[in-house]
Structure 1
């Protein structure tokens, strides 16, 4: 940890009003467990999602109309039948993901999420790693300067994430319409569960809670918005849980679609 100097006054644990404790922490519990597990979870998703986004193969099963959410909407010239009615406007090059129009917004929606930022601030940025553990930064400006000031754009990415969730819902519905008519298989179940959880995560967002109930001075005069605010507030209490579940459902959905694309096998109930 960098110590304060005469030209750089201390902040945080080095503030003049704080007790002078030389140890990094007096905690005796396993306080590193949580940030380590968080780092491993993030790393697993980032590595898997990055590889799949740039693999540009085994993302669509035309026979069952299964499209992985990592490639939706598919607007590259290499999308083929997966493009559906979307215009194929992106060049088919290895360094550009087929869903390049949506992936940056989804990434920024997650990066600026109130839960995720708190999680990676502690696990990656170590600000601080855990309660009562000194952080390795001599100064801290909060979210007032670049790059952290970008966190304040979360509410705008929420709107775009809602649109993309609608697109994922469309994909899940279209998967019931195969070239041979109505069909229903395990892939449909996985796609449907994934899109439901994506909606739950999106609607449990703090920005959504503000949209439905923010700026109201009298709840009694707005009973509908008050009811919506109450429902979103209930979801919001488990926003952390939904954030992690959706990382899992996204990977599971993509992996299953990839396996069906490779093997051609899907557990079919109808059609």
Structure 2
């Protein structure tokens, strides 16, 4: 049975376009910058985590977030919560917390978009074909673990409390540039953590009437404003984490002295 219709283009074959995309802008620049930025950060973080030194300044109780909480025999005075881990070079000082932080970032909705586009080309940009012939979504191994994002959020929330304790502990020795850097990092980490989509749903999800839950509505409104800046906070916290770690490493290694304001 043949159907007919009127109008321009109806019944005609699709245009034969051999080009990968008709986009004439530099669509490849954003995924390239993301690829370089994430690669550089992961390389730096990996080196620092397995360096096993220059992570603590005893005089001011500065502990880098890459080693918090410090749980091996190498920690010395930085071991606020004991040393249940052996001093083996393949075991990071914060081995109990780093996997959860990594899982939180990997399953983050923004980071999924970032590394799907920049590392997997899936797709690299809007109106650009996917780099893979087939797509199964996040229903198979290993991407099915993306569904664990909410549980990773709970762990990241607890770890943010530990990072806050580190900043408070360092504050007992006075005030220096290191203290300011620690607090800026903690504040940004909290902003990124609570701006998470899972946090937004936990705060305001499954409610039929916001009017009956004014406190949760206000919290949901606050988290929603942060959620709109989730991408920016994701990158900002990568920067503050690296800056905090590098500054503490530099002071611990005696490359520089901490600028003291009080004490």
TM-score with structure 2 setting the length: 0.93
1:148 partnered with 2:135: no
1:175 partnered with 2:177: no
**Shift in Å, 1:78:** 1.1
Question: Residue in 2 aligned with 1:227?
Answer: 218
Cα 1:157–1:133 shift into 2, 3 Å: same
- Which one has the largest radius of gyration? 2
Q: Secondary structure at the match of 1:135?
A: coil
Question: Residue in 2 aligned with 1:210?
Answer: 201
**Shift in Å, 1:20:** 5.6
Aligned residues: CA RMSD: 1.3
- CA distance in 1: counterparts of 2:26 and 2:66, whole angstroms: 36
Gaps of 5+ in 1: 1-16
**Shift in Å, 1:18:** 8.2
Q: Secondary structure at the match of 1:88?
A: coil
1:126 partnered with 2:121: yes
Q: Secondary structure at the match of 1:175?
A: helix
**Shift in Å, 1:22:** 3.0
- CA distance in 2: counterparts of 1:262 and 1:116, whole angstroms: 33
- CA distance in 2: counterparts of 1:186 and 1:18, whole angstroms: 63
- CA distance in 2: counterparts of 1:77 and 1:115, whole angstroms: 37
**Shift in Å, 1:220:** 1.1
- CA distance in 1: counterparts of 2:213 and 2:198, whole angstroms: 19
Match of 1:44 among 29, 40, 54: 40
Q: Secondary structure at the match of 2:18?
A: coil
Cα 1:256–1:20 shift into 2, 3 Å: same
Q: Secondary structure at the match of 2:215?
A: helix
1:1-271 pair list within 5 angstroms: 21-84=17-80, 86-178=81-173, 183-263=174-254, 265-271=257-263
**Shift in Å, 1:151:** 0.4
Question: Residue in 1 aligned with 2:8?
Answer: none
Question: Residue in 2 aligned with 1:12?
Answer: none
- CA distance in 2: counterparts of 1:174 and 1:81, whole angstroms: 12
Gaps of 5+ in 2: 1-12
- CA distance in 2: counterparts of 1:248 and 1:149, whole angstroms: 29
Cα 1:132–1:223 shift into 2, 3 Å: same
> How many residues get paired?
250
- CA distance in 2: counterparts of 1:19 and 1:53, whole angstroms: 53
Question: Residue in 2 aligned with 1:8?
Answer: none
Q: Secondary structure at the match of 2:261?
A: strand
TM-score with structure 1 setting the length: 0.90
